[in-house]
Amino acid sequence: MRGANPFIMSPACDITQRWFIAALWLACTTLFASTLAAQSQATWRLRPLTRIEGVETAGGYTFNRVNSILVTRNGSVVVADVGNVEIRVFSADGKFLNRIGAEGRGPGEYERIGSLGLLGDTVWVIDSRLRRTTLFRISGEFQQVIQSDRSRPGTALPNALVAKGRVLGVGYSTDHGREPHLPLLLMNRSGRVLDTLAWLPNLHPAVVTLARSGGGYTIGPQPFSDAGLTFVSPEATRIFVVDRSAATAAENASFRITAFEPDGVTVWDRTFRYTPTRFERSRADSLLKATERLLGGNGNAETDIRRAVFIPQYYVPITGGFVSGDGSLWLRREEHGASVEYRVIAANGRGLATLTVPATTTLLAGTSSEIWGVERDEYDVQTVVRYAILK
């Protein structure tokens, strides 16, 4: 008797085959649709609505170095100017309303504005020099000081106040910035560590630390750091951790984003592919010379400086960002050329849109329909601007 033909299936096998083909077709269709959606993300534009010129609106005050903007529930904005060590509140149409705190060491004062955010109607300000967090009402009224204690084992410097009475903190370096990773910790307000949320890449931190031949250390900026970034949503209900390690090869370049709840639960974790841009050798040489001029006068050898400064093969994929009021994450891409792209990631982790702005514009806060940012002119004078999002 001849053996059974392996290409002729029984009715049961035929049904199984049909289901397999249908499932395969559905999977391929879904993958194709997902890939097509990723390739055809919307392109948004911005239209200026309000311009806040410091000199004109605040009695002779000129913005120096604005690094944070908060949009309140009533549409007014809190503007942190770290260059002038001032925090000011403006209406949506640009009218100056009030100050929050002042420079100093007393209650309701701060010496260095590290970061700030909103919890309801409370503005929290972290002073990275005095190692404390001060709470204010949006009207400027001082509420409370929370002092950080680095003497306790396992504590960390605060990075943000988040919901449910938690504090987000980054474990500080014990080896002068040379640890490959630093812990991102969840703490209570007294500083007790509750959980390790993530480990942030730290091979090339934001500062260069050099040991002096005569003792001590010299600290300077690391212009192209690719250390991990954290972003906290308005009202502190979502925490985003971005691994933006610079690519070492053009193939399969990616950055990774993980979204957490304030209690440490992972919401989603995604890797985003991109095409890297090679770092120009001429810019690397110029950067090294500038850093040598900055740090060389402190007794540091040229070879030590060159070894400490990070010159990537490709531009770092993410250089900044913020979380909008609708929960979307706005990421500033590579810093090169006259313009820069922002990539908008929806609250559920889906790529939403891209937009391009002049490199002299930095976007800092927003809602689902409006964005606030800072523009710099040719003299480096800053203007705070409110934009409409054209979708």
pLDDT at site 291? 82
**DSSP H or E segment with residue 14:** helix 11-39
pLDDT at site 28? 45
Total Cβ atoms within 10 A of residue 294: 15
Q: Collapsing DSSP states into helix, strand and coil, what is residue 68? A: strand
**DSSP H or E segment with residue 120:** none
> 75 Cβ partners below 8 Å, 6+ apart?
91, 92
pLDDT at site 244? 97
Alpha helical stretches, state H, 163-309? 281-295, 302-308
pLDDT at site 196? 92
> 227 Cβ partners below 8 Å, 6+ apart?
200, 201, 202, 203, 204, 205, 206
Q: What is the mean pLDDT for each group of 10 consecutive residues in the chain (391 residues)?
A: 34 43 44 41 96 64 91 94 94 94 95 92 92 94 85 71 89 70 90 90 86 73 92 92 96 96 94 95 87 73 81 96 97 95 96 97 97 94 96 95
Q: How many CA atoms lie within 13 A of 225 on its CB side?
A: 20
pLDDT at site 354? 97
The CATH architecture one would assign to domain 41-390 is 6 Propeller (2.120)
Domain residues of the chain, as ranges? 41-390
Tokens of 391: 């979708």
> 174 Cβ partners below 8 Å, 6+ apart?
none
pLDDT at site 133? 94
pLDDT at site 150? 59
pLDDT at site 24? 47
pLDDT at site 301? 73
